[in-house]
Amino acid sequence: MTRRLALIALPALVVATAGAAAQPAPRDLTPAPRTVEVSLTAAPARLSLVPGTTTDLLAYNGTVPGPVLEFREGDHVVVHFRNDLPVMTTVHWHGFHLPFPSDGSPFHPVAPGETYDYEFDIPPGTAGTYWYHPHPDHETGWQVAHGLYGAIVVRAPDDPIASLPERVLVLSDNRLNPDGSLDLPDPGSHAGVVDRENGREGPLLLVNGQEMPELEIRSGEVQRWRIVNASAARMYRLTIPGHPLLWVGTDGGLFERPVEVPDITVAPSSRVEVLVRGTDAPGSRLVVFDLPYDRYIPQTRRKGWNCPRRLLTLRYTEEPPRRQAVEIPATLRHVEPIDTSRVTATRLAVLTQGMINGRMMDMKRVDVDAPIGATEIWQVENLVGMDHPFHLHGFRFQVLDRNGVPEPFLAWRDVVNVPSHETVRFVVRYDDFPGKWMFHCHILDHEDHGMMGVLQVSQTGEK
Amino acid sequence: MNERMRTTAIAAISAVALLAVAGAARHPGGGEPKPDPQVLRGRQMVLEHGCADCHGGGTNPAAPGFLAGMRDTLGQFRIGPFITRPRNLTPDNTTGLGRFSERQIFNALRFGLRPGETPDVEITSTTPGQGNYPLHPKYLAVPMPWPAFRHMADEDLRAIAAYLKRGLKPVRNLVQDSDGPPDFWASEYTAEKIGTYPAPAYPTANEK
């Protein structure tokens, strides 16, 4: 595999340094209003993740992460995808509510050299931060580890904080050998088994593809950070010393009222929006940390797992403090609760190590069958000593309670972390789109080894 | 007995008979409901094999915390650099065995396979990758004596599973998982070290 990859990569070698800024959006190919048409190509690329070395990666449009795609509510989106990888892939539009053939799940693989058009509408009320990544059966972790991931921003016409300066932070981690190549152990080796069980983590923390980048803020300014966790398994607990964060959004965008938090936890594949208030003096600098998070018990953690890790430098510009106070609205967005009086079924998903309900993924099996338009509760129970972030394709949901404690506020999510030996219940409505939708642990090693199931949504009476 | 008296008597006898039938349905054999013999058998097995010596309660099913797992660090085992913690065997959903099937508990006792890391399937082989035996088996931590328990008869192991699932009240007691890398115990449970299942045919070289 490595040799084949290298041969294909050589003619088109591009040695570039990934930038701290999120990658720019590709050109819109159509003048049609309310339609966004872009080209996206996945191909081998040689990039520098650590100064002084290069790494053979896979990249969307030549960069890691891939370009930030920007859509507006109501847009019609067409993505012309080309697979120039030597392996089969898909592009999954993580968190989007879209027709089944455009979900990019393992049911619609794109072979090497082939193209596939993903086409969908962005529904009103879904403004938020999303991301795209491959989702082939058994190979997602391998492909994401090679650099295939990118952020998506969906904007609303009535966003109350649209005027704030904004940053997209795509967080990922990796493990490199001294020569810069990816450290991907043989699956049968001890290191391979540990990766498979715990989820692959690495000491190299990247923000928009760069180690310890420097971000600027002006004193007195308030910035909106959209944070995407594109890591295979790492839980981030991001903190800015001396700067309480104002948490304003989850996977599906803004929630009703801002919540001040000392740090913010971002589970694998989930997104948060926080406001960062520039309360320090011009010219000052500080380090933004990823605090330790205890997500598993086995004694196979890497050394220093319980130490804070440096993520990026926040540098205050020399400009004089911004004098004009920034008003943050008390109400950001009304989140309409899903009507629980219409619930017709409760689905039980018991998470153990590598399995859901005692079963491993089988593409030929349907695990849950539901009529289109139904409102259902999912009760997700984690029976083992490791957290599992649970993701449902196609339909966003609202968490009702955790261990019986009602959720303090309404928010839209498409992934919820279910901590060790805990239970989370959420409510979801299967609107619009029949199809086979995956539900799975978003620790990519777990997903790839079968911790996934299929929800079939059908027209009433159809089987 | 005139016609009216006879009718009344038949009605009365019928009513008594109906009541008796209804009562029998509620309490087979009359009086208190009779326990499931399989559950009783399982209880006997659990007491005989000293399960609660490690898993809580000792030899007394009336003791608080009977089979509910270790309560403090006195109940744990230090195995080299690792710690083994006897888990909660009561049918609590998230901290005990409530969500595991009786088949998964049977597979734990017969093959030493961790119910939380082994698919809920019937296993027909002891060769990894064959007959639903996992290619990468995840074993219960040492010193759980499953290499001895596995030689019990099928119906006895099934009875233990029935007792744990249906004969106990759930107790919520979260026991931290035992330590050890995921592939650690595999090297301890080879046929060279623990013998085979089924055991070699009688008589072996040691037997007469």
pLDDT tens for each residue of B64-85:
999 999 999 999 999 888 899 9
In A40-71, which positions are buried (b, 16+ CB within 10 angstroms) versus exposed (e)? bbbbbbbbbbeeeebbbbbbbbebbbbbbbbb
Instruction: Give the residue carrying structure tokens 């804070």.
Output: A308
Q: How far apart are CA A58 and CA A233, in angstroms?
A: 19
Mutate to test the interface with A, among B76, B87, B88, B177 (most CBs of A within 10 A): B177
CA atoms within 13 Å, Cβ hemisphere of A419: 11
Contacts of A300 in chain B (CB under 8 A): 181-182
pLDDT at position B8, please?
46
In B59-145, which ranges are continuous DSSP H helix? 102-111
Task: Give the residue from A186, A189, A197, A449 with the most B CB atoms within 10 Å of its CB, the best one to mutate.
Answer: A197
Residues in chain A: 463
pLDDT per residue as tens digits for the range A273-285: 999 999 999 999 9
pTM of the model: 0.90
Tell me whether residues A383 and B94 touch, CB distance under 8 A.
yes
Task: Write out chain A residues lying below 8 Å of B117, CB-based.
Answer: 352-355, 384
pLDDT score for A166: 97
Q: Do A421 and B180 touch (CB under 8 A)?
A: no
CA B91 to chain centre: 10
Which segments in chain A show pLDDT lower than 70?
1-23, 297-299, 461-463
Minimal Cα–Cα distance from B7 to chain A, Å? 51
Helix, strand, coil % over all residues of chain A, rounded to 5? 10, 45, 50
Q: Which of B82, B117, B182 sits opposite A352 (nearest CB)?
A: B117
> Best mutation site among B99, B102, B103, B135 for testing chain A: the one with the most A CBs within 10 Å?
B99
CB A444 within 8 A of CB A391: no
Q: Report whether B175 contacts A294 (CB < 8 A).
A: no
Cβ contacts of A108-116, under 8 Å, gap ≥ 24: A109/A136, A109/A137, A110/A81, A110/A83, A111/A83, A112/A83, A112/A84, A112/A85, A112/A86, A112/A87, A112/A88, A113/A83, A113/A84, A114/A82, A114/A83, A115/A80, A115/A81, A115/A82, A115/A83, A116/A81, A116/A83, A116/A90, A116/A91
Torsion of CA A257, A417, A440, A271, to 10 degrees: 40
Among B81, B100, B180, the residue with its CB nearest the CB of A298 is: B180
At B30 the pLDDT is: 59
Q: Do A422 and B94 touch (CB under 8 A)?
A: yes
Model pLDDT, residue B7: 46
Distance from CA of A141 to the nearest CA of B (A): 19
The residue behind tokens 């060790």 is A420
Return the structure tokens found at A46: 């040689």
Helix (H, G, I), strand (E, B) or coil at A74: coil
Amino acid at site A369: D
Per CB distance under 8 Å, which residues of A are interface residues toward B? 190, 193-194, 196-198, 297-300, 350, 352-355, 357-360, 381-385, 421-423
Contact flag B136-A355 (C-beta cutoff 8 Å) = no
What 3-state class would DSSP assign to B73?
helix
Q: What is the pLDDT of residues B108-164, one digit of tens each?
A: 999 999 999 999 999 999 999 999 999 889 999 999 999 999 999 999 999 999 999
Interatomic CA distance for residues B47 and B45, integer angstroms: 5
Query: Do A353 and B136 make contact, defined as CB atoms within 8 angstroms?
Result: no
Query: Contacts of residue B137 in chain A, CB cutoff 8 Å?
Result: none
- Which chain A residues are closer than 8 Å to B176 by Cβ? 297, 385
pLDDT tens readout for residues B24-52:
444 555 577 889 999 999 999 999 999 99
Chain B residues whose CB is inside 8 A of the A451 CB are: none
Question: Higher pLDDT residue, A297 or B16?
Answer: A297
Q: Do A381 and B177 touch (CB under 8 A)?
A: no
- At residue A296, the pLDDT reads 77
CA atoms within 13 A on the CB side of A387: 20
**Chain B nearest-CA residue for A300:** B181
Task: Point out the residue among A194, A350, A383 whose CB comes nearest to the CB of B182.
Answer: A194
Helix (H, G, I), strand (E, B) or coil at B62: coil
Q: Inspect the interface and report whether the beta carbons of A298 and B116 lie closer than 8 Å.
A: no
Query: What per-residue confidence (pLDDT) applies to A297?
Result: 67
Q: Which residues in A lie closer than 8 A to residue B182 (C-beta atoms)?
A: 193-194, 196-198, 298, 300
Q: How much is the pLDDT for A298?
A: 66
Question: Minimal Cα–Cα distance from A224 to chain B, Å?
Answer: 38
Task: Calculate how close chain B gets to A405, using CA atoms only, in Å.
Answer: 15
Chains A & B: contacts with CB separation below 8 Å: 66
Pick B95's closest partner by Cβ from A300, A360, A421.
Answer: A421
Task: Tell me if B179 and A193 make a contact (CB, 8 A cut-off).
Answer: no
B183 to chain A, minimum CA–CA distance in Å? 7
Task: Give a three-class secondary structure readout of A345-414.
Answer: EEEEEEEECCEECCECCCCCCCCEEEECCCEEEEEEEECCCECEEEEECCCCEEEEEECCEECCCCCCEC
Which tens digit of pLDDT belongs to each residue from B186-205? 888 988 999 999 999 999 99
